[in-house]
Amino acid sequence: VARMFLRLLSDIQWRAAHSKWRRMTSSQRSTSTTAEPHPVSLPAQAQVVICGGGIMGTSVAYHLSKMGWKDIVLLEQGRLAAGTTRFCAGIVSTARPVSIELKMAHYSNKLYQQLEQETGVQTGYMKTGSISLAQTQDRLISLKRIASSLNVMGIPCEIISPKKVVQLHPLINIHDLVGAMYVPEDALVSSANVSLALATAASWNGVQIHERTSVSHVTVQKGRVTGVETDRGRIQCEYFVNCAGQWAYELGHSGEEPVHIPLHACEHFYLLTHPLKEPLSSSLPTVVDPDGRIYIRNWQGGILSGGFEKNPKPLFTEGRNQLEIQNLQEDWDHFGPLLSALLRRMPDLEALQIMQLVNCPESFTPDMRCIMGESPTARGYFVLAGMNSAGISYGGGAGKYLAEWMVNGYPSENVWPLDLKRFGTLQSSRTFLRHRVMEVMPLMCDLKVPRWDFQTGRQLRTSPLYDRLDAQGARWMEKHGFERVKYFVPPGKDLLDLDHSKTFYKPDWFDIVGSEVKCCKEAVCVIDMSSFTKFEISSTGDQALESLQYLFSNDLDVPVGHVVHTGMLNEKGGYENDCSIARLSKRSFFMISPTDQQVHCWAWLRKRLPDDSNLVMEDVTWKYTALNLIGPRAVDVLSELSYAPMTAEHFPSLFCKEMSVGYANGIRVMSITHTGEPGFVLYIPIEYALHVYNEVMNMGQKYGIRNAGYYALRSLRIEKFFAFWGQDLDAFTTPMECGREFQVKLEKGMQFLGQEALLEQKQNGVYKRFTMFILEDHDTDMDLWPWWGEPIFRNGRYVGKTTSSAYSYTLKRHVCLGFVHHFDEKTGEELVVTTDFINQGEYEIDIAGQRFQAKAKLYPFSSLFTQRRRKDEAELSGYQRE
Amino acid sequence: FYLTPPQVNSILKANEYSFKVPEFDGKNVSSVLGFDSNQLPANAPIEDRRSAATCLQTRGMLLGVFDGHAGCACAQAVSERLFYYIAVSLLPHETLLEIENAVESGRALLPILQWHKHPNDYFSKEASKLYFNSLRTYWQELIDLNSGETTDVREALINAFKRLDNDISLEAQVGDPNSFLNYLVLRVAFSGATACVAHVDGVDLHIANTGDSRAMLGVQEEDGSWSAVNLSYDHNAQNEHEVERVKMEHPKSEEKSLVKQDRLLGLLMPFRAFGDVKFKWSIELQKRVIESGPDQLNDNEYTKFIPPNYHTPPYLTAEPEVIHHKLRPQDKFLVLATDGLWETMHRHDVARIVGEYLTGVHHQQPIAVGGYKVTLGQMHGLLTERRARISSVFEDQNAATHLIRHAVGNNEFGTVDHERLSKMLSLPEELARMYRDDITIIVVQFNSHVIGAYQNEE
């Protein structure tokens, strides 16, 4: 083992010639912490302190220094690239299902390719390509979906037959394969050397690198980072970047003001062998066999093969720090199933001699996506960690986006799926993380079908009606820890069990949701929507109104009792949040936004609201249960329960009133449904929730009331062309681009955030346009269903991707929503998208490589709104135009 | 004829029983975590019996296995009655008085034992009144005797064994007006049973053994390996002391005829047993009882047959040998089993198999490649074999079942061979007895933490 360790070390080319930092440390290869003289003392202050000298820390340092920030100190508790980075398998793979991750990996690949030339450090970069194997048709579908999105990004990629697989890699046993995906430009690197190369380039650019320096904690004053305490003294700084890998959680919790970074380490095993008799070529492609849960790459004439087992071993739950990752124990019994998979895939390797089983912990996050961004509580505290074992693939791109974020205030791509603020304290429990990562690690290889959900760490946040709904057949999904109903299985009807209900085709709940939708259209349904984020903002004087008028694009100076749909826009006019705000009184507002906005929206407002003790913002999410009564008979149910007239004359659309329902008083009733259907949302103080629910269900019986879930809601809102934040809308989408000019009051008499950008768009036009597509030749029973992220083709050319989709039970067709761009045919330059451009194209949607004709629409079907109602048009996005 | 693994499992698991002791039973924290027990018949009906109960008026738990011969009547009676005799022997004078007064005045009786029974373990309803009267006579005598001393467990066990055997003998001599009962008490007396009983109270473990069932302690050494400590001596021809004892009790003239072909008087394997009045009563008594007995008894050649060289009865006793052991934290479990197990398995294998079962697979030595030259194929083979070993552990939820699986299914390499298991379990009734004996096993698991705490107190 000792020899092995040295061998790994010798992979690293220590280029003394160029490295400044090389001189700062003793050359002795001791892993102990024993004090050695530190020839260079730490600076007393710096603009940025980066903690962690792995691939993430060095990549951030590299990119920051490239962007012109020079006053940077990088601290590493052991030696550079000595943690997870050293033991990383070094596979750069772009085949990622999430688009932002794909972009990061693509950029990383390009960066590493030229890194050796730039720095002179040998990175071992070798373009080998990769083959992802499919043992089942379902797996092949998921590969085809990835292939579609790689192709439209210009990354070469093809679906190949098993025969072609053998041509690419002679050792592979193909008898159980149905196909494969080949990505010829994927690469191998020595990850430690990449990290050292990045560090070298960074140090040329002025970054100071100090090894053997541990950060004990970060000091924060008045919500801003002020400095870093280390075992070698204090450094004052404006920015701190936590790139501490699996120790990031602990480091985040070490300060007085904890920064919650939900990640947890699991042991990860891979095998190294001696060379084959005829050593494997170093250009042989990497093989990924997700059904066998393994990956196999060539390594020094032999192979390196690891995987993601079904029963992972989480570790360091209690948090045990250690300087560098020593080789943890080899556990052959644990590796057994993966070894079986390896020998099944490459039977000729039986006689190959084992060199070592490496155990190197990797950190995993609750949703399988990495963590990046600024802390919601401590400004200047940035995080980049939790790579879910894809650190080398993401390293370059992730470092770039974080550097952009720090320098420009925002990254150049929508990184919300990776934003630290998608999590809150609720994902920070060690028990939760331990259980969740045990599910996440096997999921790396599991087949992910549309609307899959996590099974662990559930029932954390629930509505007070949870048990009632569950007893009535509710099936649940989770968002931000909150249990939400998907649909209700009627008594006597059995659905397939979880494993069998996994499908890319028509799901087993199709008819169930259909009848819920029908009930919403014809009678009335109740959906528990308690998970929505709810804030109250009030002030003694006009501060609340003034501040909100600046922070929101619509005009909030409406009469008391009115509800306003508005975007919370950034400087570029993009949606940071999309909410409904009710004016409760002259000086107080009730704000409803999507569930996963709880942390982000709070931080956004906190940062921008004036520091005024007379202006109070409170998170009241937990105080109210929300019942959405959707359907034409909602009005009857409610008026019977409240003895108050609820008709349009008394209770117009987009109106909010406190009233009594049953015995319970003080129920906030709003005439919105988030679907475009008539109805009301009741915001009920939680202790009344059960009472009001019972009353509504009892009274509703004669109107045919029933429970419904979010799948019905989604079908309704998508056929009405309603965009949802987080699905369709993001920080890079403006109201102008999604037909919501009517929610922007450019002339409301005062400045607001994003106004300039919107004015410019209004004058010059938009570069993408939110469009609704109705699939024409799609057979709901036989064809693959769309999900989201499907490429859109106009006249045969790629113009954008879908963002959400649903079956419309009214149209009896699939509806996809997505953005259409206009790329110049020659230069690829983005051009203005006009209404004519949209209307004059022939469209196709690509579902896993198969294209379906689609009709594009910029406005919803008016024929759907047979129950014409009053002012509802205002709620129907895009219907009422300026 | 081939049994599938589920069929094998349903046979093996038909009689399995587990009991987990509540952590705190109201009096003390128990040194016993719980027990697993199981039986696999070879005779039809099975002649083995098992019992387990918690003493309610004193502390401690009783567990026992009983191996019957010449029928199951004696083993059945002993399994029902012996623990009451032991419990009564252990009771202090005041409690005995209280119980007697309650019976006298027709009040509800203090419960003496809480039984832990498998649904197949039955008590004979018809004889309960008879059994109760005999027991009552016993405690009345104990009350009259009132020694005033605190009861010694060893003595209590010996007294209970001897008293019960005496009562069995007396009941047969006296007979019963009810013809069913009359026949029953005779069958009990003319058949026989060995008994191996454990009494556990805190760190004090007493084993009282009569016959050739065996008690074995499983000890985990510091290096994690398992060893076995015998807590009973077999009373059979292989035990020199026992042969010596028998010879001492009879005139020298009988020395040659006492033990023939490793059997007592050339007939009986165990040298001590309950019942078996044919080895205890005088020839006259035997003849008188048989003649006055029911026809069924007269028709039975076995009962009428007088052992050869029968000169100075009794040749047989039910008096147990008692061994006291102070439990230590390394004493992890106790196995009580009838000779059906010990015939097929060495005690060291029993200790290892149960030990590894109870601690799970984690103690399987991890594999390290180190500097050795191992190929992927070799490693794969090794891991597959280890997994197979583990999976047979996980099939069983009961340590006794697991042990039976090994006892019946082990091949020459000490691993369970399904084919062999299937063959052994599908033997026709008349053949089964040739290849194996009834097996009854109780595995008691100890709570090392509690035992450690007791030790520290002392």
pLDDT digits (tens, 9 = 90+) for A710-757: 999 999 999 999 999 999 999 999 999 999 999 999 988 899 999 999
Residue identified by tokens 């490239």 is A66
CB < 8 Å to B366, chain A: 329-333
A95-107 mean pLDDT: 93
How far apart are the CA of B221 and the nearest CA of chain A, in angstroms? 24
A302-310 mean pLDDT: 95
How far apart are the CA of A448 and the nearest CA of chain B, in angstroms? 30
The number of folded domains in chain B is: 1
Q: State the pLDDT at residue A12.
A: 37
> A12-16, A586-590, B128-132 — which is least confidently predicted?
A12-16
Helices (H) and strands (E) in chain B, counts: 18, 15
- Is residue A313 scored above 80 in pLDDT? yes
For B257-270, letters b (16+ CB in 10 Å) and e give ebbeeeebbeebbb
How far apart are the CA of A351 and the nearest CA of chain B, in angstroms? 5
Q: Do A351 and B366 touch (CB under 8 A)?
A: no
Among candidates B366, B377, B387 on the partner chain, residue whose Cβ is nearest the Cβ of A336: B387
Q: Do B367 and A351 touch (CB under 8 A)?
A: no
CB < 8 Å to B386, chain A: 333, 336
Q: Which residues are A525's β-sheet partners?
A: A630, A706
Residue % of chain B over a pLDDT of 90: 57
How many A×B Cβ pairs under 8 Å? Answer: 60
Q: Do B377 and A273 touch (CB under 8 A)?
A: no
Q: State the pLDDT at residue A498.
A: 59
Q: Do A350 and B370 touch (CB under 8 A)?
A: no
By the 10 Å C-beta count (0-12 exposed, 13-18 middle, 19+ buried), A318 is classed as exposed
Radius of gyration of chain A from Cα atoms?
28
Interacting residues of A624 by C-beta distance below 8 A, sequence separation 6+: A530, A534, A668, A683, A684, A685, A686
Q: Mean pLDDT in chain B?
A: 88
> A36-50, A653-667, B22-36, B176-190 — which is least confidently predicted?
B22-36
pTM of the model: 0.72
Q: Do B367 and A336 touch (CB under 8 A)?
A: no
Closest CA in chain A for residue B367? A332
Alpha helices for A561-670 (secondary structure H): 598-608, 634-642
Angle at CA A379, nearest 5°, toward A375 and A385? 35
Among candidates B369, B386, B387 on the partner chain, residue whose Cβ is nearest the Cβ of A357: B369
User: Residue A26: pLDDT band by 50, 70, 90 thresholds?
Assistant: very low
pLDDT digits (tens, 9 = 90+) for A426-440: 999 988 999 999 999
Q: Which of A309, A339, A344, A358 has the highest number of chain B CBs within 10 A, making it the mutation to test binding with B?
A: A339
The one-letter amino acid at B231: L
pLDDT digits (tens, 9 = 90+) for A538-594: 999 999 999 999 999 999 999 999 999 999 999 999 999 999 999 999 999 999 999
Residue % of chain A over a pLDDT of 90: 81
Closest CA in chain B for residue A348? B377
Among candidates A1, A340, A351 on the partner chain, residue whose Cβ is nearest the Cβ of B375: A351
Q: Do A343 and B376 touch (CB under 8 A)?
A: yes
- By three-state DSSP, how is residue B140 classified? helix
Q: Do B377 and A339 touch (CB under 8 A)?
A: no
Q: Domain of B301?
A: 5-457
- Is residue B199 scored above 90 in pLDDT? yes
Closest CA in chain B for residue A339? B380
> A133-137, A640-644, A652-656, A859-863 — which is least confidently predicted?
A859-863
Residue % of chain A over a pLDDT of 70: 91
Q: State the pLDDT at residue B388.
A: 73
| Percent helix, percent strand, percent coil in chain B, to nearest 5 | 45, 20, 35
Domains of chain A, with CATH numbers? 45-364 (3.50.50.60)
- Is residue A693 scored above 80 in pLDDT? yes
Angle at CA B290, nearest 5°, toward B289 and B296? 135
How far apart are the CA of B45 and the nearest CA of chain A, in angstroms? 44
Q: State the pLDDT at residue A24.
A: 41
Closest CA in chain B for residue A347? B377
Q: Mean pLDDT in chain A?
A: 90
Q: Do B376 and A329 touch (CB under 8 A)?
A: no
User: Residue A226: pLDDT band by 50, 70, 90 thresholds?
Assistant: very high
- Is residue A655 scored above 80 in pLDDT? yes
How far apart are the CA of A342 and the nearest CA of chain B, in angstroms? 9
Q: Do B377 and A342 touch (CB under 8 A)?
A: no
Angle at CA B161, nearest 5°, toward B155 and B167? 125
Among candidates B369, B370, B383 on the partner chain, residue whose Cβ is nearest the Cβ of A336: B383
CB < 8 Å to A340, chain B: 380, 383-384
A701-713 mean pLDDT: 96
CB < 8 Å to B375, chain A: 350-354
The one-letter amino acid at A778: H
Residue B384 forms contact with A (CB below 8 Å): yes
Residue identified by tokens 């072909």 is B261
Q: Do A353 and B384 touch (CB under 8 A)?
A: no
Closest CA in chain A for residue B388? A333
Concatenated DSSP letters of A303-329: EEEEE--SS--EE-TT----SS---PP
User: Residue A699: pLDDT band by 50, 70, 90 thresholds?
Assistant: very high
- Is residue B286 scored above 80 in pLDDT? yes
pLDDT digits (tens, 9 = 90+) for B223-243: 888 999 999 999 999 999 999
Q: Do B383 and A350 touch (CB under 8 A)?
A: no
pLDDT digits (tens, 9 = 90+) for A463-484: 999 999 999 999 999 999 999 9
pLDDT digits (tens, 9 = 90+) for A604-615: 999 999 988 899
A654-661 mean pLDDT: 94
A135-164 mean pLDDT: 95
C-alpha distances (whole Å) from A114 to each of A107, A118, A122, A127, A603 are 11, 6, 11, 12, 39
Strands A130-134 and A286-289: parallel
User: Residue A626: pLDDT band by 50, 70, 90 thresholds?
Assistant: very high
Among candidates B374, B383, B387 on the partner chain, residue whose Cβ is nearest the Cβ of A353: B374
Closest CA in chain B for residue A351? B375
Instruction: Kindly tell me the sign of the dihedral angle through the C-alpha atoms of A405, A409, A410, A412.
Output: negative
Whose CA is closest to A403, among A155, A692, A68? A68
A136-147 mean pLDDT: 95
CB < 8 Å to A271, chain B: 376
Q: State the pLDDT at residue A497.
A: 65
First to last CA, chain B: 59
- Is residue A502 scored above 90 in pLDDT? no
CB < 8 Å to B385, chain A: none
User: Residue A10: pLDDT band by 50, 70, 90 thresholds?
Assistant: very low
Alpha helices for A557-651 (secondary structure H): 598-608, 634-642
B62-87 mean pLDDT: 95
Angle at CA B302, nearest 5°, toward B296 and B303? 60
User: Residue A707: pLDDT band by 50, 70, 90 thresholds?
Assistant: very high
Q: Do B374 and A354 touch (CB under 8 A)?
A: yes
Residue B145 forms contact with A (CB below 8 Å): no
ipTM: 0.83
- Is residue B23 scored above 70 in pLDDT? no
Does A333 or A62 have the greater pLDDT score?
A62
Q: What is the CATH number of the domain that holds B337?
A: 3.60.40.10
Q: Which of B373, B374, B380 has the highest number of chain A CBs within 10 A, making it the mutation to test binding with A?
A: B380
Most confident of A695-704, B347-356, B364-373: A695-704
Q: Do A331 and B370 touch (CB under 8 A)?
A: no
Q: Return residues 361-380 of B near A (CB < 8 Å).
A: 361, 364, 366-370, 373-377, 379-380
Strands A563-569 and A575-585: antiparallel
Q: State the pLDDT at residue A39.
A: 59
Q: Which residues are A528's β-sheet partners?
A: A627
Q: From the CB of residue A404, how many other CB atoms can be counted at a distance below 10 Å?
A: 18
Residues of A with CB under 8 A from a CB of B: 1, 271, 273, 329-333, 335-336, 339-340, 342-343, 349-354, 356-357
A153-169 mean pLDDT: 96
Strands A187-188 and A126-127: antiparallel
A162-191 mean pLDDT: 95
